[in-house]
Structure 1
Amino acid sequence: MIPYFELKKVATELTTRCECILFGSLGLQMAYPQVLPDAPHDADLFAAGNRDNLVQIITLLRDNGYLVYSWQDPIVAGFDWEILRGRFYFRGVKKILGYEPAIIDVTYEIAGLQYE
């Protein structure tokens, strides 16, 4: 079972407090619930790629119990921020008893597209 309630709560907090927008199936589900027959399996955000914004997003994810990764590398205290350059996105994962893991993907680099 997908933790839709968790994805919706954290995505709403992130889009309210950070420079990012929600897209993908969760965005569609929240705007037009009649369109998708099943709850989304993750949340997808597009974020401004400046360091302060990314730090704020990562901090909020961690404060909500998520482990955050850039590909296979955990983003923890002392993380080398230069590693993020060219990796396009990072992922927050939260395990919730009785549910599949909650997954939030944050894309911060898209060739030819700037967050404005």
Structure 2
Amino acid sequence: MLSVKEPTQEGQKIIQKMEGRVFRVTYLTDSEIQKFKLKSVTTNSTNRDLLDKCLNEVMNDNNIQFKRIKVDAKKRSFEINQTRLKEMKIFLIGQESITQDILIYNAVLRAIS
């Protein structure tokens, strides 16, 4: 958070860029993150757009079997649209033992499979 008495131009630019976006964490192995980045390049999309599309698919899949995060996974941060985050929170209300990081992880797996 920027802590100044008066807003600066730089601070205003940062606020405009961040508006409507949030960051969430999931855990991926090195090979999973490499495959995800490669997939975004080959599909000519950003990581954010690819993740958003796959999150939507995962939440609309009535027969999904959620996979657990691998033991050797490392913490990774992803940018998510504010609207999608609200949809995720509503989706997770009815899910037992599924968290945001597991939901994001399964969306990444869908993208790289």
TM range (shorter): under 0.3
TM-score normalised according to structure 1 size: 0.26
Q: Which structure has greater helix proportion?
A: 2
TM-score normalised according to structure 2 size: 0.27
Structure having the higher Rg: 2
